[in-house]
Amino acid sequence: MKLCHEYGTEELASPNSDSYPKSTLVSNLTYTQALILLGIPEEEREEFIENHDVESMTKLELQQAVKDRDQAIQEKKDLQKNLDVKNSEITQLTAQTKSLEEQMNQCQAEKVQSSISKADEQFTIHRDVILNAWKELSQILSTLNKIDPKIKETYREQLHTMLQNLTKRMEVWPPIVTTNLSIKPTPGVKSSN
């Protein structure tokens, strides 16, 4: 009954019928082969018959071929499922990595901002100290000018020299390290130059 429903009564009854294109493929099958092929969905059955020499297969060979086909389809589904799981994991890990990178960048930005704030605070304190010291030195020089202009001039020259040296140091920052030390070679030791 199922054979008639799947293959049609005309296909099974008339092997030479031209009105049914599947009839040539199905009509050469044995009853057992036709039953075994019912395990394959109808839309895939014709392709399976065309790709395999079903007519010359024994019952066991055909059962094994159908079993192999089903197993290959299942393996493909399992592989696709595993691939989907791995893709999902990759997507999740990529999102986590991006989130961690953003957090790290945020922490670094906060650290830099904190360092800048501390440096700005220290700069302001020391600048104010220098400005206050300058005011006091100016007042001292003014007072000395009234008391002893000669001592005032000595202090003014010292202050002027000191300020010139500080200005030279500030022209390039960080300053270039120089030394007034001279290194004499040790007798008997060859230079590595």
Q: What is the pTM of this model?
A: 0.46
Tell me the domain boundaries of the chain.
2-57, 76-171
- Over pLDDT 70: what percentage of the chain? 83
Burial class of residue 122 in the structure, from the number of CB atoms within 10 Å of its CB (0-12 exposed, 13-18 middle, 19+ buried): exposed
Mean pLDDT lowest for which of 7-11, 23-27, 57-61, 69-73?
7-11
What lies within 8 Å, CB to CB, of 138 at 6+ separation is none
Picking from 10, 8, 64, 14, the residue whose alpha carbon sits closest to that of residue 36 is: 64
Q: Which range has the worst mean pLDDT, 129-133, 161-165, 175-179? A: 175-179
Q: How confident is the model at residue 24 (pLDDT cuts 50, 70, 90)?
A: low
For residue 14, the model assigns a pLDDT of: 47
Per the CB < 8 A criterion, the answer to whether 184 and 190 are in contact is no
Nearest to residue 12, comparing CAs of 56, 60, 33? 33
Judge whether residue 65 has pLDDT over 80: yes
